[in-house]
Structure 1
Amino acid sequence: MTSQSDSNVARGITLICIGVFAISINDMLIKALSGGYPLHQIVFTRTAIGIFFSALMLHLEGGLSLLRTSRPGLHVLRGLTLVAANMTFFASLAVLPLGLTTALFFVGPLFITLFSFLFLGEKVGPLRLGAIVFGFLGVIVMQEPWGDGSVYGPPWLFALPMIAASLYAAMAVMTRALGVKSTAAALTIYNQLMFLAVSSLFFLIVGDGKADPGPDAPSLHFLLRAWVWPGNQDWPLFILTGICNGIIAYCVTAAYRMAPSASIAPFEYIGLPLAIFWGWLFFAEWPTPAIWAGCAMILGAGLFVFLRERQKGKVIVPKRPGSRTG
């Protein structure tokens, strides 16, 4: 007979797989739209659509009263950190292959362990420290320093998804240290309101495109180009990003509320083969041998750190850094 806890774990695994699949679709769509629309316009549109799903979740969990909080400043700080992480990650999609960007983002668990050691005073043994070093060496391998350099551009481009991963890790450690007592739906609403506020501010300041440096600086061009009304052929993509936003917010938060993170977090790593597949299918991208080797080093280090902390009975955070919700 299947126990209730086993049933919850099975449902949690199913939900996290659906959420990660939606994340991979979302990233692919944003990369596809990056050639014609500014990032803040895409973020505003997907959030404006996705927030309706979150409002429905909030209603089912108890209504608007759940938005009351005694720590509004913490919610704002978390939201801003999440926005910065997402914007940095999405900006990297405009210049780097989808699979490579996703692989670099998976240094997030290594950052969480490192930040917990540096800022929370947690004990981290030589095995986990060695795994962290090994994972970051994987990033160097991807840049092919033994040759003329990576075919994907200068090394600083590789920093964009890593900055995003470090921001997620900082948010996770901050949440763990300070505590956030809100429902999943309320947290999602707070985050999405910050996305709407920041993208609206971008529109007011740079929405006319005057600050756009042009296509010679692709990441800044993606961030600062002028808003344009979407063509009929692109509206389905915008709508689908909003639907993905709602699915991600619901599935990931529900999965981690339903089952222990130790049981379902490893399933987030299916995001990497999905990203490589979408990159190959839609953008004719295929990793070089150095990228494959670096991916293996990063994922191997991340899984080792996770399993080691699970062995020691530690729960890193309620949501792993790969859970790009909001």
Structure 2
Amino acid sequence: MTTTPHNRAGLAIGLILLGVAAISVNDMLIKRLSGGYPLHQIVFTRSAIGIILGLVLVKLEGGFHLLKTRQPGLHLLRGLLIVISNMSFFLALSVLPLAEATALFFAAPLFITLLSIPLLGEKVGPLRLGAVIVGFVGVVIMMRPWASTATLDVSRWVLLLPVLAALTYALNQLMTRKLGVNSKASALMVYIQAAFVAVSLGFFLIAGDGRFVDEGSSASLQFLLRAWIWPAQEDYLTFLGIGLNIALIGYCLSQAYRLGDAATVAPFEYIGLPLAVFWGFVIFGDLPVWEVWVGIALILASGLFVYLRERQKALRVTRLQGGRRA
């Protein structure tokens, strides 16, 4: 007998909302630290804390035997995808306004909806596909293809980093849906944090002394490769908060995509857009340029339509099932 994923849409939606709220706080804290610490040091610290908390959750969910898996290769691939996603996004975050980087990253739910068709066999109708296209138009507008390089504040390669992060994140979440058939959310979280620890330690061994950057290097490159330093006392709580937050994020997202269809859960990640605007203004004094506002509006509109369409379909199925029972 084959095991199928649980489908508990209400709980999955609640978990994704909590996880995305935690992500917005995480992004804000990492941007605050990006001017003084290397990315791999921040990643190592948060993941070391996160993996400890993850092991506690594994114990609570049934014991350490849950960490055994028959699919180590797929878990390794999933870990590498989320590492690429996070590193790409945080590199962009170090030089882009928080709202702009986040808005570009929100190509991820669009990718999830599209890729769930060939990879998971989920059905996405023409109306939802049309909404996804509208969302991608918003992403293109935020990329500002009509602007010359001289008029942009950053390189176009930097603008592409959040989109790369979105694609690899989408692939990761679709793999979570498949792997979640036989793996608990806590175990999935531990595998991810282990991947982060391994990669960040590799960066430390190769570049932890800062040998590959100097004062003339770009801000993103300095963030990636500057030397490790002992955190200032006033930053202790920020590092601790990031570590606690990553455990919450890893568990909520893994559990959400275990319990709900990807095309249903993904649109609720859009709550991260207004949260990014909020933190960007309150903490950094940034407000999006008009292209980003337009992109946010189109992405939110497409996400809301997908959600309403999914709800309408679910109600219709429920009525049909009710008729059969009668």
Question: Which TM-score band (shorter chain)?
Answer: 0.7 to 0.9
Contact conserved, 1:110 with 1:305, CA < 8 A, in 2?
no
Displacement of 1:39: 0.5
Residue 299 of structure 2 corresponds to which residue in structure 1? Answer: 298
Displacement of 1:288: 1.6
1:191-206 equivalent positions in 2, closer than 5 A: 191-206=192-207
Displacement of 1:291: 1.1
Q: 1:181 to 1:199 in 2, by over 3 A?
A: same
Residue 5 of structure 1 corresponds to which residue in structure 2? Answer: none
Contact conserved, 2:264 with 2:307, CA < 8 A, in 1?
no
Q: 1:252 to 1:171 in 2, by over 3 A?
A: closer
Contact conserved, 1:106 with 1:302, CA < 8 A, in 2?
no
Displacement of 1:35: 0.3
Contact conserved, 1:39 with 1:222, CA < 8 A, in 2?
yes
Displacement of 1:168: 1.3
The one-letter code matched in structure 1 to 2:65 is S
RMSD, matched Cα? 2.8
Q: 1:32 to 1:296 in 2, by over 3 A?
A: same
Residue 135 of structure 2 corresponds to which residue in structure 1? Answer: 135
Q: Percent of counterpart pairs with the same letter?
A: 55
Please report the TM-score for the alignment, with normalisation by the length of structure 2: 0.83
1:76-95 equivalent positions in 2, closer than 5 A: 76-95=76-95
Q: Deviations over 1:23-57 (max 9, x none)?
A: 11110000000001110100000011112211111
How many residues get paired?
306
1:24-103 equivalent positions in 2, closer than 5 A: 24-103=24-103
Q: Deviations over 1:68-125 (max 9, x none)?
A: 1111111111111111111111111101111111111111121123334566677655
Residue 222 of structure 1 corresponds to which residue in structure 2? Answer: 223
The one-letter code matched in structure 1 to 2:38 is P
Residue 237 of structure 1 corresponds to which residue in structure 2? Answer: 238
Q: 1:162 to 1:260 in 2, by over 3 A?
A: closer
* 1:165 counterpart = 2:166: yes
Cα distance in 2 between the residues matched to 1:48 and 1:273: 30
Structure 2 spans left out of the alignment, 5+ residues: 1-7, 315-326
Cα distance in 1 between the residues matched to 2:139 and 2:267: 20
Residue 249 of structure 1 corresponds to which residue in structure 2? Answer: 250
The one-letter code matched in structure 2 to 1:243 is L
Contact conserved, 2:177 with 2:258, CA < 8 A, in 1?
no
More helix by share: 2
Q: Deviations over 1:194-213 (max 9, x none)?
A: 11111001111111111225
Cα distance in 2 between the residues matched to 1:143 and 1:240: 32
The one-letter code matched in structure 1 to 2:104 is L
Contact conserved, 2:270 with 2:303, CA < 8 A, in 1?
no
Please report the TM-score for the alignment, with normalisation by the length of structure 1: 0.83
Provide the secondary structure at the position in 2 that maps to 1:234: helix
Contact conserved, 2:181 with 2:258, CA < 8 A, in 1?
no
